[in-house]
Structures are given as C-alpha cells and as structure tokens.
Structure 1
Amino acid sequence: MTARILQNPWRLLLAINAIVIVGVFVHKIQLPPYVPYIHLIVDYHFGFIKRALIGAIVALFTAKVPVKVPVWLVFALGGATWLATSALYARLFQKTFGFTAKTLPLFVFIAGSPFFLKNFMHMLGHFVIYGCALAIILLLMPAGSLLFVAAAALFSIILVLIHHIHLLMYVPTIITIVVVRHYLTYGSNRSNVAFGAVAVLIISALFFAAQFLGTMPIPEADFVAYLKSRMADPSRTDLLQFAYIWYQPLAKEIADTWGRLPRNILGVPVFALLIWLHSPLWRYLASLIGALASATHRRLVVAAMVGISLAYVVMFAMVFDYSRWISNWAVCMFLILHAVKMLPAKQEAALIPAEDQRTNLFGLMLTLIPRVGIVRPF
C-alpha cells in the first residue's frame, strides 16, 4: 500500500493541502488585520476617493443603526469570499476538465499551489481575491451575447473601485477571457467591437480618476477621527496606521518601491524556484496552446499572456508587494489555462502524468509550501 501511495499520491496530497489551509487560517486569525480592517471603514463620506467601495458597502449596513464595524468582520467577510472563490473554482475545474483520476494531478497543481488558495487564505480580507472570483464567474457564464461583455465591464469597474491597481492585476485577464470566450468563439462585428472599446475607455478613465483624483480631500487628522467613529473599538489606533495611503501620491509609492528594491529583489530567486516547481503545469499549458486548431488563436493567446505579464512588471515597478503580485500573476495564468481549454483544438493535449516520480515530487513540494506571502517570500 505504501508503494502505491508513493507512486500515485494525488489523493493524499489533496488531503494534505486541506490540512495546510486549515493551519494557515488558524495562524491568520491570530494576526492583526491592519490593511483589511481599514478598508472596511473607509467610504465615500467625503466624496469620491480610491479604495473605498468595500467600506461603502459595509457602511450601508452600519450607518443607520447603532452598529460599528468590528474587527472580526474582516475574517467573516474574507472567509466567506474565500469559500465562495474556492467553490467557484471547483465548479470551473469540473466544467473544464471534470474530476477524474487522470485530472487529479492537474487539480492539485492548481488548487494546491502556494500561489493560489493557500495564499489567498494568508491574505484573508485583502482585495486581490475579488479579481480572481469575478474572473472565474466570467469563465462560467454564457458568453454568446453582449451581456457577457457588459458583465465583464461591470466587474472591471467594481474591481477598480475596490482598488485601482486591479487595472493592472486582473482587468487584463478579464479582457483576455472576454476576447477568448466571446470574440474568438462567437466572432466580432462592428457593434460588439465598439462596445468593448468603449468599455475599455470607461474603465481606463475610472482608473485615472481614482489614481489622480481619488485622494482624501480633508486633513489626515480629521480623516482618522472619522474612521474612529466607525470603529467598534476606537482604542485600536494601531489598525489605523495605514491611513496615509489615501494621501500618498503615485510618485511617493514609486520612490518607496525603488528604495526597497535592493532588499526585495533578493526574493526573485525564490519566486523563480516556485515557478519552476510548477513546470508540469506550464508544460500542459504550452501543450494546450500548441493543440489549438487556429494559428491565429495561438498567437493571440500568447500575446495576451505577454500583455498580462507586462502589466505585472509595471506593478513591480510601482508597488513593492512582490509576493502578492507574483502569486496573482500565477493565478491569472491558471485562469488563462481554463480559457484556452475552451477554444477549438485539433487534438487533445496530454494531461499531467499521474505516476511520474519527478512530477509527484514537485506536487509534494508545492503541497507542503503553505503560502508565498505579501511582500517578501514566506
């Protein structure tokens, strides 16, 4: 029996991943939710500002009743979002590949990746998971009409209002999903191309408005006083230490990033190692692209992946949360894999082998890595 498990360990690795996720959750709820909590109490009380949509939604349920925003709400909302995203991805995998013994290694490499659900658990309450969840919904939705393009535009607007950096983080992946599932599958004409172009312009304009016009219009002391009025425990001033980000200009963010670069760049070899451990998955993605029936589709998919990667390079130059960016870049590649699988193919690509020793070793190593982190590796 032991030999059989070592030869085909994927069910065991799936169970270990579940245990690791529970461990990450137990660790996470013991940490102070500095950035996630303040995002729940910042709203549009003083006019349009960046990073305020989630807080504005929370305010709808707390403004007219004597209820303040408790710290536990970070974990409740974050946990619910994580569970919903996990369920959506399970449904997407079932729709795209199905759950069989042959597809189990692929599922473990994606769902058990330290870049994906485990790292989202470590970032419980942060905004990045919303981009992933909405992109998965687009991969599950019918894509034959302009309603699909409109839904993608609405999702992108929501993401930019949650945090404007989503324009670089998940909007390019959403655009790719729209192109693959709507324009390449059902064809393009003047009306749907014009609709998509206008949507991109509106989303871009909203990004620039949030980036350059979305700073808090009142003194920081008054802003902090307002935030305290929304807190269940105003004595927790430590949770307000990041209030400055609603005042910080882009130039200061870039200067901080480049100032930290010599130290943060030391994590690049670790990121490279983690990416290399996913090599069976990348080979499968390359095989899927190579198996596409249309050479035009192959070129467009590769161009889209390059564009998504370049957007993350821009983020690397602007904001120093490197572990978070590299993790979400990998998640975007996972989602593109599903989109590519939905295109017409001339042949079936060979799945990740279930009984290859090197592949099994890589799967085990990825399973045992609990997370990647937010700024620096681990």
Structure 2
Amino acid sequence: MTAGILKNPWRLLLAINVAVVIGVFIHKVRLPPYVPYIHLLVDYHFGFIKRALIGAIVALFTDKVPVWLVFAIAGAMWLATLGLYARLFQKTFGFTARTLPLFVFIAGSPFFLKNFMHTLGHFDIYGCAFALVLLLMPARSLLFVAAAAVFSAILVLIHHIHLLMYVPTIITIVVIRHYLTHGITRTNVAFGLVALLGVSVLFFAAQFLGTMPIPQADFLAYLKSRMADPSRENLLQFAYIWYQPLSKEISDTWSWLPHNSLGLPVFALLIWLHTPLWRYFADLVHALASDLHRHLVIAALIGISLAYLVMFAMVFDYSRWISNWAVCMFLVLHAVKMLPAARETPPIPAEDQKTNLFGLFVTLIPRVGIVRPF
C-alpha cells in the first residue's frame, strides 16, 4: 500500500493541500487585518475616490463595521472562487485519475488558493473570480464582451491597479473565447475598443482624480466614526494610501528594490517547481490547430507578463504580483484548452517519480506571501 502511494500520491497530496489551507486560515485570522479592514471603512461619502467601491457597498448595509466582517466577506469570496474554479476544471478537463495531477499543481499551488487565503481581505481575488465567471459563461454574443467590460470597470473601482493585474487576462479571455471562436466583425471589434477605452478612462479618473479631497485628520475622524470598535485605532495606520501620489509609490518601490530583489531567486525556484505544469501548458499551445491562434496566445502571455513588470516598477508587493501572475497563467491555460487543437495533449504523468516530487514540494509550500517570500 505504501509503495502504491509513493508511486501515485496525488489523492494524498490533495488531502494535504486541504490541511494546509486550514492551517493558513487559522494563522490568518489571528493577524490584524490592517489594509483589508480600512478598505471596508472607506466609501464615497466625500465624493468619487479610488479604492472605495467595496466600502461603499458595505456602507449600504451597516453604519458600523466590525473587524470580523473582513473575514466573513473575504472568506465567502474565497469559497466562491474555490467553487468557480472547481466547476471550471470539471468543465475543461473533468475530474479523473488522469487529470488529478493537473488539478493538484493548479489548485494546490502556493500561488493560487493558498496564497489567496493568506491575503484574505485583499482585492486580488476579485479579479480572479471575475475571470473565472468569464471562462464559465457563454461567449456567443456581445453580451459577453459587455460583461467583461462591466467586470473590468468594477475591478478598477475596487482598486485601479487591476488594470494591470487582471484586466489584461480578461481581455485575453474575451479574445480567445469570443473573437477567435465566433469570428471578428466590424461591429464586435468597435464594441470591444469602445469598452476598452471606457475602462481606461475610468482607470485614469481613479488614479489622478480619485484622491481624498479633505485633510487627513478629518478623513481619519470619519473612518473612526464607522468603526464598531473605535479603540482599535492601529487598524487605521494605512489611511495615508488615499493621499499618497503615484510618484511617491514609485519612489518607495525603487528605494526598496535592492532589498526586495533578494526574493527573486525564491520566486524563480517556486516557478521552476511548477515545471510539469508549464510543460503541459506549452504542449497545449503547440497543439493548437491554428498558427494564428498560437501566435496570438503567445503575444497575450507576453502582454500579461509585461503588465506585471510595470507593476513591479510601481508597487513593491512582489509576492502578491508573482502569485497573481501565476494565477493569470492558470486562467489562460484553461482558455487555451477551449480552442481547437490539432492533436490531443498528453496529461501530466501521474506515476512519474520526478513529477511526484515536484507535486510534493508544491503541496507542502503553504503560501508565497505579500511583499517578500513567505
């Protein structure tokens, strides 16, 4: 029996991943939710400002925001994302013994659900969830393009950095699922360009016109009035981010660059541990029936990666950016699988010793982190 588990350990690795997620959750709820909590307090009380949509929605239901609401909302979002991904995997690959290694490498990756658990309450997961919905919903009409535009606008209102973080992946999904699958016409191209322009304008409005219009002391007083427990003033220490200009964010990022760059070898190692998955992804792309599709997919992957490179130069939450980049790769993998293929792509081998070791290491790593590795 032991020899059988060592030869084909994927069910065991899946169970270990569940235990690791529970452990990460227990650890997370014991930490003060500095950034996630303040985002539930900020709304549109003083007019249009950046990073205020989630708080504005919360304000519709309650005047006082308890700290536990961070974990309630974020936990529900995490469970919804898990459910959406499980449904997508079932639709794309199906749950069988042959596809279990692929599921473990993606769903059990420290870049994905485990890191979303560690960053519980942060806004990254919303981009992933909306992308999953777009991968699941019908893509036959312009309603699909309109839905993608609405989702992108919502993401920009949640946090404008989504324009770089998940909007490029959403564009890739729209191109693959609608334009490449159902054809390109003058009407749907014009509609898509107008939608993209609208989202871009919203981004610039949030970035340059969405600053807080009142003194920081008055802003802090308002936030304190919305707290269920005003004595926990330490949770307001990041209020300055609604006043910090882009130039200051870039300056801070570059000043910390020598120190934060020390984590790059760790990120490279984590990416390398997913080698069986990247090899399978490359085989999927090479197996596409159309050269045009293949070239456009490669161009999209480069474009998504360049967007993350820009983020690296602007904001120093490197562990989050690397993790979300990997998640975007996972999402595009599913989209590519939906395109016509010239041949069947062999699955990740379930009984290869080297692959099993990669799977074990990926499973045992609990998460990547927020700024620096782990």
TM-score normalised to structure 2 length: 1.00
Report whether the alignment pairs 1:93 with 2:89.
yes
Q: Which residue number in structure 2 is paired with residue 119 of structure 1?
A: 115
Which residue is 1:138 aligned to?
A: 134
Q: Which residue of structure 2 lines up, in the alignment, with residue 223 of structure 1?
A: 219
Measure the CA separation in 2 of the matches of 1:235 and 1:216: 24
Shift of 1:26: 0.2
Aligned residue identity for 2:28: K
Alignment of 1:128-277 (within 5 A): 128-277=124-273
| Counterpart-to-counterpart distance in 2, 1:70 and 1:290 | 51
Tell me the distance in 2 between the aligned counterparts of 1:57 and 1:297. Answer: 40
The structural deviation recorded for 1:249 is 0.3
Residues 278-311 of structure 1 deviation map (CA, whole Å, 9 limit, x = unaligned): 0100000000000000000000000000000000
2:343 alignment counterpart = 347
1:36 Cα deviation after fit: 0.1
CA drift at 1:193? 0.3
In 2, Cα distance between equivalents of 1:126 and 1:134: 15
| Residue in 2 that maps onto 1:9 | 9
Which amino acid letter does the alignment assign opposite residue 204 of structure 1?
Answer: S
Match of 1:51 in 2: 51
Q: Deviations over 1:249-277 (max 9, x none)?
A: 00000000000001100000000000000
| CA distance in structure 1 between the partners assigned to 2:236 and 2:107 by the alignment | 34
Output the CA distance in 1 between the equivalents of 2:125 and 2:324: 9
Q: Partner of 2:71 in structure 1?
A: 75
Could you tell me which amino acid in structure 1 is paired with residue 16 of structure 2? Answer: I
Paired residue secondary structure (1:62): coil
Amino acid at match of 1:276: W
Q: Report the 3-state secondary structure (helix = DSSP H, G, I; strand = E; otherwise coil) of the residue aligned with 1:248.
A: coil
Alpha-carbon separation, structure 1, partners of 2:347 and 2:305: 25
Q: Which amino acid aligns with 1:268?
A: L
Deviations 1:144-163 (A, max 9, x none): 00000000000000000000
Summarize deviations over 1:213-269 as a string: whole Å, max 9, x none.
Answer: 111000000000000010001111100000000000000000000000011000000
- Once the two structures are superposed, residues 128-179 of structure 1 have per-residue CA deviations (whole angstroms, 9 ceiling, x without a partner) of 0000000000000000000000000000000000000000000000000000
- The 3-state SS of whatever aligns with 2:120 is coil
Deviation of 1:181 (Å): 0.1
What letter corresponds to residue 58 of structure 1 in structure 2?
V
Using the alignment, how far apart are the partners of 1:228 and 1:50 within structure 2? 19
State the distance in 2 between where 1:120 and 1:320 align.
Answer: 18
Equivalent of 2:292 in 278, 296, 299: 296
Three-state SS of the structure 1 residue aligned to 2:60 is helix
Structure 1 position 62, deviation (Å): 1.2
Deviations 1:84-112 (A, max 9, x none): 00000000000000000000000000000
Q: 2: CA distance between counterparts of 1:209 and 1:358?
A: 50
Kindly provide the amino acid, as one letter, of the partner of residue 349 in structure 1.
Answer: T
Same amino acid, percent of matched pairs: 82
Shift in Å, 1:212: 0.7
Give me the whole-angstrom Cα distance separating, in 1, the residues matched to 2:154 and 2:344. 37
Amino acid across the alignment from 2:105:
F
Unpaired segments of 5 or more residues in structure 2? none
Structure 2 distance, partners of 1:257, 1:358, is 38
Distance in structure 2 (CA, Å) of the matches to 1:350 and 1:322:
33
**Separation (CA, whole Å) in 2 of partners of 1:271 and 1:23:** 22
TM-score normalised to structure 1 length = 0.99
Matches of 2:203 and 2:275, distance apart in 1: 35
Taking the aligned partners of 1:273 and 1:100, their CA distance within structure 2 comes to 29
Could you tell me how far apart the structure 1 residues matched to 2:9 and 2:24 are? Answer: 22
Superposed CA RMSD:
0.4
Distance 2:138 2:120 in 1: 30
Q: Distance in 1 between matches of 2:154 and 2:48?
A: 14
> Displaced runs of 4+ in structure 1, greater than 2 A?
none
Q: Could you list the runs of 5+ residues in structure 1 that have no partner in the other structure?
A: none
Q: Distance in 1 between matches of 2:241 and 2:344?
A: 49
Q: Distance in 2 between matches of 1:207 and 1:234?
A: 33
Aligned partners of 2:161 and 2:116: how far apart in 1?
A: 17
* Partner secondary structure for residue 18 of structure 2: helix
SS at match of 2:24: helix
